[in-house]
Structure 1
Amino acid sequence: MTTTSIRRAIVPGIAALALALSACGAGNETAASDGTGSGDTGSGSLTGTLAGAGSSAQEKAQEAWATGFQGLNDGVTITYDPVGSGDGRTNFISGGVSFAGSDSYLSDDEGELTGAKERCGGEDPIEVPAYVSPIAVVFNLEGVDSLNLSAKTIAQIFDGKITNWDDPAIKAENDGASLPDLAITPVHRADDSGTTKNFTDYLGKAGEGAWTYEAEDAFPVEGGEAADGTSGVITAVTQGKGTIGYADESQAGGLSVVSVKVGEEYVAPSAEGAAKVVAVSPATEGRPEVDMAVDLDRETTEAGAYPVVLLSYLIACQTYDSADEAALVKGYLAYAVSDEGQSAASENAGSAALDPAVAERAQGIVDAISAK
C-alpha cells in the first residue's frame, strides 16, 4: 500500500446532466479556518491535514491537486492513499477518510449508497466528476508496436478463449502484422477496482456477447496474472512476455497500446476520445441533485470516440461535524474541479478537463459543503 503525500510545491491547471468535456466526521486532524465563498480554495487561510483514499487511476491527478492546493495553503497537508476505488469507498463509508476518489459511482448493490448516507448523518453523499481518462489496453509483445482489436476479441482474450498471439481472430484485425506463436498472458487487477468495473462494463456492452459477466470491481475470471493497483498491472505487463493488461492511460508509460474498434474505425486512447464518449452519455436516473453520476455509452459509433473510458468521481459529505474538516474538504474539492485544478491534472495525468458547464455545477455542489 502506498500513500501520496505532497507538500508546498506549486503546480503551474445535461439531457439531464449535459455532461461534456473539453479535449461526516473522522479520519484526519485539522486546525483550519472556515473557507467561504464561491470556489473558495483557501488562498492561504487553511491549515491542517486532510486524508483521502481510493482510485489508483486518479493517483497522478491527486498528486497534482495536492501539490497545487498546498501551494495555495502552505499550512495544509493532503494525503491520498491509492488503495483502489472499492477500498476507497469502504474507507470513506467507515469514516476512515474525509473523501474518496472512485472510478465508479456509489451503488446500493452492496449497500454503498445506504452506508454513505448513514456516514454523512442521513444526508445524500456528494459525488462530483473530477477526472476523465481513457483506459488503455496495454501489451508487451516483442516485434509488435501496435494492434487493432475489437471489444469482442479483447473479451475473448481476457476470458481465456483466445490464448495465443497468432490466433486467427487477432490476425484478421491486423493484416500484415508479424504475430508470433506465443501464449498470451492476460494481466488483471487483484484488488477491487473501478478501473476493472469500467473495463468489464465496456467488454459486456460492446463485446457482442463474448463477455458474459457483470461489470464488477472484482475481476471475474480466474487464470492469467493478478496484480495490485494500476502500478502493479503496468509492472506485470512490462516485466512479462506476451502480456496484455488494462490501466489508466496516464500510467501506460512506454508500453504499446491497443486501438479499439469503434464503428468501422480503430481508435487509440486519448483524452479527446474519452471526452466524446462522456459527451453523449446520459445521467444516471434517480440520483439526488448533489450526485452527478453518469452511465457511459460504451457502444457509441461517434467518430473519434474512445469507449474504454473511466469517469472518476470525488465522494464526500454535504456536512461534517467539524468546521475545520468541512473547510478543508470544501477547499480541496473546489480546487480539484476548478480551471486551475483541471489544468494541473491534465498536465500531470493527461486527463480531459471538465466542460465549463459541468465544472460549474460541480463547483456549486462543493461550495455548499459546511459544518453541522
Structure 2
Amino acid sequence: MRLRLLPAILSGCLLSAACGGGAGASGAEPNRSGGEVKLQGAGASFPAPLYNKWFKAYSASHQNVVVDYQSVGSGSGVKNVIDHTVDFGASDAAMKPEDMARVPEGVQLFPMTAGSIVLAYNLQGVEGLKLSRKAYSGVFLGKVTRWKDPLIAGANPGAKLPDLPINVVVRADSSGTSFVFSQHLSAISDEFGKSVGANTMPNWPVGTKSKGNEGVTASLMTTPGSIGYIEYGYAKTQKVPMAALENKSGKYVEASTATGQAALASVALPDDMIAWAKDPEPADAYPIVTYTWLICYKKYATQDKLEAMQDLVRFGLTEGQKDAESLGYIPLPEGVVTKATMAIPKLAGQ
C-alpha cells in the first residue's frame, strides 16, 4: 500500500518509516532525483498514535516522501529488519545484540519517545482502583483470580468490588509492550521471573489473547471484569479506567507525565541508547515506564532516501516532542534528545 498518510491504527509505522530501509530491503524502489522517496516499515503498536500525528505534519511539508507502515508488533518489526523486508523497524523491546549481528550493514537505534504501561480494567462503578505489587503480579501468575480477593480488597477499602472472576487479557503477538511488562513483573516477583520471565511472547499462565495495544484495549472495553496491560495513551484516548500501582517505595502512583519522567530520570542512557527502568526507585515514579525505539539501517541505497530518513528522525526528536504529552506519551529528556540527534550522522549511503 502506498499512502501519504495511513489510518490511525497503522500510525506507529509511520515514524518507523522515518528510518528507512537497508540497501537490500524488498519493495524499496531506488529514488529518482526529484521523484518520490518511498519508505516501508513495520513494528511497534505502542507509539502508533503519536507517530501518526508526527507524519501528518511531516508529510504536509514533504510531498515527495511516501510512508507505508504496518503496526504488527515489536517482534515482527525486528524480524522484518533482519530479513530486509522493510526499510525500517520500530520496537519497544529495542533489539538484542545477537539480532543486530544478523544485519550485515548494521543498525542504529533511536529512542523517539517514552510511555507508561498501565493496567486498565473494566469494573462498573469502581474508580481509583489500587493494586499492590503482590496483587498485580498474582493476577498475571493466575493466582489472584477474583476481584474480591483479599490482596485487592485490602488496598481498596470501601470500593464495591464485584464478585466476579478476573478476566485477564494479554497480547497475542510478539510484543515490546509484553516484554517491558514481563520484565517488570520479573523484577518484582521471583516466582514470575523463574516461571515466566521477560519475553516478547511470554508463556502466560492465564489470559485471553488479543493482537496489539489496539486489540487489548478493545477487549477490555467490551468484556466486564477484565484487566489488561496497554500503553497509557490508548487508555487515555478510550477513557478506560487505569489502576494506581504500588511502586518500589510502597507508594500507590498513577501514570502521568510527571511520574513517568521521574522513572526515566532514575536510569542513564548508555552509548547504545538502550536503557531500562525495570523497577524504578524514586518515591514519585510510576513503576512501568519505557522508551520506544526506531531501528534504522546504517546504510541506505540512495542519497535521497538517506537524507529523507535523517530529516524525519530529526523532526521526531525536535518538533515531534511537542505532541507527546497531549497523546499520553512522555517527552524525551533533553539529554536523550541531544544524544540521539548526535547519532543521526551514523546513517550513511552506500
Give the structure 2 partner of residue 12 of structure 1.
none
Q: Secondary structure at the match of 1:80?
A: strand
Instruction: Give the distance between the partners of 1:345 and 1:95, measured in 2 at CA.
Output: 30
After TM superposition, the structure 1 stretch with the greater mean CA deviation from structure 2, 309-318 or 200-209, is: 200-209
Asked if 1:268 corresponds to 2:251, the answer is no
Asked if 1:371 corresponds to 2:349, the answer is yes
Give the structure 2 partner of residue 15 of structure 1.
none
Asked if 1:341 corresponds to 2:327, the answer is no
1:48 counterpart (17, 37, 46): 37
Give the structure 1 partner of residue 200 of structure 2.
217
Asked if 1:6 corresponds to 2:8, the answer is no
2:139 counterpart (145, 148, 157): 157
Asked if 1:280 corresponds to 2:280, the answer is no
Instruction: Give the distance between the partners of 1:55 and 1:88, measured in 2 at CA.
Output: 7
**One-letter identity of the residue aligned with 2:47:** Q
Q: Secondary structure at the match of 2:118?
A: strand
**One-letter identity of the residue aligned with 1:341:** G
Instruction: Give the distance between the partners of 1:152 and 1:204, measured in 2 at CA.
Output: 12
Asked if 1:259 corresponds to 2:208, the answer is no
Instruction: Give the distance between the partners of 2:297 and 2:51, measured in 1 at CA.
Output: 19
Counterpart mapping for 1:284-295 below 5 A: 289=271, 291-295=272-276
Instruction: Give the distance between the partners of 1:297 and 1:217, measured in 2 at CA.
Output: 15
Deviation (angstroms), 1:208: 5.8
Instruction: Give the distance between the partners of 1:136 and 1:234, measured in 2 at CA.
Output: 11
Q: Deviations over 1:83-134 (max 9, x none)?
A: 00000111111111111111012114xx312113x2x2xx3x1111111001
Change (3 A) 1:304 1:208: farther
Q: Deviations over 1:2-60 (max 9, x none)?
A: 998617xxxxxxxxxxxxxxxx2214235376xxxxxxxxxxx8842211211101111
> Which structure ranks higher in relative contact order (CA pairs < 8 Å, sequence separation ≥ 6)?
1
Is the Cα–Cα contact under 8 Å of residues 163 and 183 in structure 1 kept in the other structure?
Answer: yes
**One-letter identity of the residue aligned with 1:278:** L
Change (3 A) 1:259 1:211: farther
Instruction: Give the distance between the partners of 1:3 and 1:281, measured in 2 at CA.
Output: 39
Q: Deviations over 1:107-162 (max 9, x none)?
A: 14xx312113x2x2xx3x11111110011110001221221112221111011101
What are structure 1's unaligned runs of at least 5 residues? 8-23, 34-44
Give the structure 2 partner of residue 106 of structure 1.
95
**One-letter identity of the residue aligned with 1:69:** Y
Give the structure 2 partner of residue 28 of structure 1.
28
Is the Cα–Cα contact under 8 Å of residues 343 and 353 in structure 1 kept in the other structure?
Answer: yes
Give the structure 2 partner of residue 228 of structure 1.
211
Aligned pair count reads 329
**One-letter identity of the residue aligned with 2:323:** A
Instruction: Give the distance between the partners of 1:163 and 1:3, measured in 2 at CA.
Output: 46
Instruction: Give the distance between the partners of 1:68 and 1:308, measured in 2 at CA.
Output: 30
Deviation (angstroms), 1:201: 0.9
Is the Cα–Cα contact under 8 Å of residues 134 and 151 in structure 2 kept in the other structure?
Answer: no
Change (3 A) 1:86 1:369: same
Is the Cα–Cα contact under 8 Å of residues 134 and 274 in structure 1 kept in the other structure?
Answer: yes
**One-letter identity of the residue aligned with 1:268:** E
Is the Cα–Cα contact under 8 Å of residues 64 and 345 in structure 1 kept in the other structure?
Answer: no
Q: Deviations over 1:191-221 (max 9, x none)?
A: 0000000001111112364553221000321
Change (3 A) 1:282 1:4: farther
Q: Secondary structure at the match of 2:329?
A: coil
Change (3 A) 1:346 1:83: same
Instruction: Give the distance between the partners of 2:4 and 2:188, measured in 1 at CA.
Output: 38
**One-letter identity of the residue aligned with 1:246:** Y
Percent identity at matched positions? Answer: 28
Instruction: Give the distance between the partners of 1:105 and 1:240, measured in 2 at CA.
Output: 32
Counterpart mapping for 1:274-353 below 5 A: 274-283=260-269, 289=271, 291-298=272-279, 300-338=280-318, 340-347=319-326, 349-353=327-331
Is the Cα–Cα contact under 8 Å of residues 139 and 145 in structure 2 kept in the other structure?
Answer: yes
2:153 counterpart (164, 167, 171): 171
1:245 counterpart (228, 231, 234): 228
Higher helix share: 2
Instruction: Give the distance between the partners of 1:215 and 1:271, measured in 2 at CA.
Output: 25
Change (3 A) 1:150 1:46: farther
Poorly superposed stretches of 4+, deviation over 4 Å: 2-5, 208-211
What are structure 2's unaligned runs of at least 5 residues? 7-21
* RMSD of Structure 2 on Structure 1 (CA): 2.1
Instruction: Give the distance between the partners of 1:216 and 1:242, measured in 2 at CA.
Output: 26
Give the structure 2 partner of residue 361 of structure 1.
339
1:75 counterpart (64, 74, 77): 64
Instruction: Give the distance between the partners of 1:183 and 1:297, measured in 2 at CA.
Output: 29
TM-score when normalising by structure 2? 0.88
